[in-house]
Amino acid sequence: LQLAEDLGTLPIWVFNNGISHTDQVDTSSVLPFVQEALDGLEFAIGSPNSTWGSLRAAMGHPEPFDLRYVAIGNEDCGKKNYRGNYLKFYSAIKRAYPDIKIISNCDGSSRKLDHPADLYDFHVYTDSKNMFSMAHQFDHTSRSGPKAFVSEYAVTGKDAGTGSLLAALGEAGFLIGLEKNSDVVEMASYAPLFVNANNRRWNPDAIVFNSSHLYGTPSYWVQCLFNESSGATIFNATLQTNLSTSLLASAISWKNSENENSYLRIKIVNFGTNIVNLKIVVDGLEQNSINLSESTKTVLTSTNLMDENSFNEPKKVIPNRILLEKAGEDGEDMQVAISPHSFTSIDFLIESSFIRTTGADSVSVSSI
């Protein structure tokens, strides 16, 4: 809880629901585990005058932590006692803390859950090609019911190395799919986040550190380029190309909180081996509304797909931001070149409001 607060992030408390890899507590005996969860919640968000809240206050944190989500178990769906145990936790927590959002372990992306939940958990660890293809995982998910929390995703195995460009590109494609399905995907998090280089128990990880240095893997930098997606307006981005198996794109509009500038951001992953020249057309764009001289293109790529960052070369594979080359005279049809094996984020600075309220705005990206 304290680490999340220090990092400016929201914590998610995963409760022990009485199930481990080798043993299970019967639902008839799970109430002590439920009470332990309730005590934990009282410690986290209860009044400083309550039994457990007073302990938090005595430890120097009288204000409640900003805890909004809890998960009941981890990867326990399908086990004999999970549903029964889950329902005991769900009922008790909702009765005591109705505003807390509860996350089920059961995947609801392809079929509806048979129990109540605010969100459901989705995990995926796979190779880069399969991860890239999973951009469409949530395209046909029901638009009603609990939303997805993609709490663990990463490219693993030989594609990953200890954090390769290839892995990052596969993940970038997957994240574009999540962004375009943000009506049914509420949150996503790479896993794991940190690793001590002197005690590596999982591979890869987003941030590597030792006692004096740290660096981000290419996967970390991909995360950074999706940072503004939360709260943004998603456009209907259409990709018109015969390279659909190696090219993915999305479009959002967002406002920079530091300078209050508004941008149209188009993200493109080129998973293929060739340069792709693209024409970008924005339906609903006002004449001269884009300031091309202040627009930028940020590219994450390298000379070798398996290139990684390290303590010796912490910036070997990082995003490179440049001013956008002259993209189009009329500000409507814009042409950009996308490098092979790259993740490109283009920010067009908007000088005036061009987003119509009809909901008909769209972005078309086509190869030329």
What would the pLDDT profile of 150-195 be if each residue is shown by its tens digit? 999 999 999 999 999 999 999 999 999 999 999 999 999 999 999 9
What are the tens digits of pLDDT across the range 219-252?
Answer: 999 999 998 777 788 887 777 776 667 999 999 9
For residue 325, what pLDDT is reported? 67
At 68, which amino acid appears? R
Question: Are 74 and 190 contained in the same domain?
Answer: yes
Q: Tell me the CATH number at 274.
A: 2.60.40.1180
Question: Are 29 and 177 contained in the same domain?
Answer: yes
The ranges of the chain with pLDDT < 50 are: 329-331, 354-360
Whole-model pTM: value is 0.92
Nearest to 120 by CA among 99, 136, 106: 106
What contacts 194, CB < 8 A, 6 or more positions away?
A: 205, 206, 207, 209
Question: Are 204 and 312 contained in the same domain?
Answer: no
Alpha carbon separation from 112 to 118, 132, 202 (Å, rounded): 12, 25, 32
Question: Are 254 and 167 contained in the same domain?
Answer: no
| Last residue in a domain, options 206, 229, 252 | 229
How far apart CA 222 and CA 227 sit, in angstroms, is 9
For residue 353, what pLDDT is reported? 53
Q: Taking a C-beta distance cutoff of 8 angstroms, is the pair 180, 237 a contact?
A: yes
Question: Are 273 and 192 contained in the same domain?
Answer: no
Q: Which domain holds residue 341?
A: 233-367
Nearest to 65 by CA among 73, 74, 56: 56
How far apart CA 351 and CA 85 sit, in angstroms, is 55
Question: Are 55 and 151 contained in the same domain?
Answer: yes
| Last residue in a domain, options 229, 264, 286 | 229
Question: Are 161 and 266 contained in the same domain?
Answer: no
Question: Are 103 and 241 contained in the same domain?
Answer: no
Question: Are 33 and 175 contained in the same domain?
Answer: yes
Q: Tell me the CATH number at 107.
A: 3.20.20.80
What contacts 336, CB < 8 A, 6 or more positions away?
A: 277, 278, 280, 297, 324, 325, 327, 344, 346
Question: Are 245 and 271 contained in the same domain?
Answer: yes
* 276 CB neighbour count, 10 Å cutoff: 21
**Which helix (DSSP H) or strand (DSSP E) does residue 34 occupy?**
helix 31-45
Question: Are 118 and 210 contained in the same domain?
Answer: yes
Beta strands 119-126 and 147-155 are parallel
Taking 3-state DSSP, the helix, strand and coil percentages for the chain, each rounded to the nearest 5, stand at 25, 30, 45
| Total count of domains within the chain | 2
Question: Are 270 and 202 contained in the same domain?
Answer: no
